[in-house]
Structure 1
Amino acid sequence: MQIVKSLITSVLIALYQPFWYAVLSAALLCFLYLYAYHPINTGKGLKAAFRTWIEEFKTSVFFRKLFLLFFFTVMILFRTLLNRNMWANPLSDVMGGWWIWEEVNGEQKLTTECFENLVLMLPFVFLLFWIFEEKIKRVNLWRMIWEGLKIAFIFSFTIEMLQLFLRLGTWQLSDLFYNTVGGGIGGLLYYVVYRVKKFSGK
């Protein structure tokens, strides 16, 4: 139970740290979206802009989905790029950590990095499918899992390469693996939700 408690606490702390930054960034990105695609109230002052944002959030399901997508995207970028220290050698630990225990100075230490990488990419892939569900021509279990794996792998690989070239963090195969698996689980979750909605007639 102590291990489970430590894992849950570490994952929640990792998600909480960038929470308000991600909320603010998502709100600003939604303002940018409104300016680009709904420029009706452009140039009428901040009050009109805020009123338009709130009204769009209340009435548009797509706008709320987009807010969530922006939110989780910023969360991912904050954890992987925006809040990382410079590393002299980004290839110092290519394999990375593959389980909940790591050896530090000869002692076994509990780590939740693998679970954080799973949780990080799962909602991102799910939201992508949810937002663009009308463009998905055929929904079946293996296709959703495969598409989720591909999306997560490409996105994660891009982040890892940016970490390498910008020297922000370390390039790790374990991060790439767990992020990709998280994307597959996100595709699986979307399929389950889709089948439940179809079965219930919603």
Structure 2
Amino acid sequence: MSKEIDIIANIIKSVLTTLYQSFLAAVLLAFVSMFVFLYVKEHGWKKGNLIKSIFETWVRNFKKSSTFRRVFLLVFYFAMILFRTFLNRNIWFDPLSDVLGDWGLHKSDGSLSTEPIENLVLFIPFVVLLLWAFKNEIIGEDVRIVKVLWKSTVTVGIFSFVIEFSQLLFHLGTFQISDLVYNTLGGTIGGLTYYVIYRFRHRNE
């Protein structure tokens, strides 16, 4: 009898774990899908050519609008970050098991760890894409290096804290101060990278 109970318990645990891990991804997908639904309804697209109309509209805007392309790349990379840091994580029963995290290239047991470098590099393209897409909204017309670095650092710092806190809250991964620091530093470097690119492109102005 105990064997049957263990089997049932394992099945229930597996189902609940699957539902728990995919819940946020499902919410995000449903949220985005409703925007598509509202757009379709507003423009009166017919059911017969619905898929064709969606792809034609998407391709037309991608070709015509540089803003559309920039935002698309930003959202794509943003989604990759979420899956890397949060959505695709297994459940951790003790998310505070390693609060300080890894600061060097070696763990406490001597094994090699590239996680600090990965966390730093991860947010450099994110900031470049973010400022490329929403430069006027975030920085404005006055592009000064101090302003760019400050905005980049604060933005990524807040975003990184939200990710780390969400990992703690939902037990998806571990809350680590080292991740927060390296992510934020990556944001600063990303801001510097954007500033160099911006100045190079506007060197004759």
Q: Give me the TM-score of the superposition, normalised by structure 2.
A: 0.76
Paired residues in the alignment total 173
Distance 1:192 1:69 in 2: 19
Residue identity over aligned pairs, in percent, reads 45
Residue correspondence of structure 1 range 112-131 to structure 2 within 5 A: 112-131=114-133
Select the residue among 170, 193, 196 that pairs with 1:192.
196
Distance 2:115 2:72 in 1: 26
Select the residue among 151, 158, 170 that pairs with 1:154.
158
Select the residue among 122, 142, 149 that pairs with 1:145.
149
Deviations 1:55-99 (A, max 9, x none): 111111111111111111111110111111111111110000001
Distance 2:36 2:203 in 1: 34
**Is structure 2 residue 68 aligned with structure 1 residue 63?**
yes
Task: For residue 42 of structure 1, report the CA deviation from its aligned partner.
Answer: 4.1
**Is structure 2 residue 94 aligned with structure 1 residue 94?**
no
- Show the counterpart of 2:183: 179
RMSD, aligned CA? 2.7
Unaligned runs of 5+ in 1: 1-24
The answer (yes or no) to whether the contact 1:35–1:42 under 8 Å persists in 2 is no
Larger radius of gyration: 2
Deviations 1:120-143 (A, max 9, x none): 111111111111123313111111
**Is structure 2 residue 173 aligned with structure 1 residue 169?**
yes
Distance 2:61 2:34 in 1: 10
- Show the counterpart of 1:132: 134
Task: For residue 51 of structure 1, report the CA deviation from its aligned partner.
Answer: 1.0
With over 3 angstroms needed to count, the CA separation of the structure-2 counterparts of 1:48 and 1:113, relative to structure 1, is same
With over 3 angstroms needed to count, the CA separation of the structure-2 counterparts of 1:41 and 1:114, relative to structure 1, is farther
With over 3 angstroms needed to count, the CA separation of the structure-2 counterparts of 1:30 and 1:53, relative to structure 1, is farther
- DSSP 3-state at the match of 1:119: helix
Deviating above 6 A after TM superposition, structure 1's stretches of 4 or more consecutive aligned residues are: none
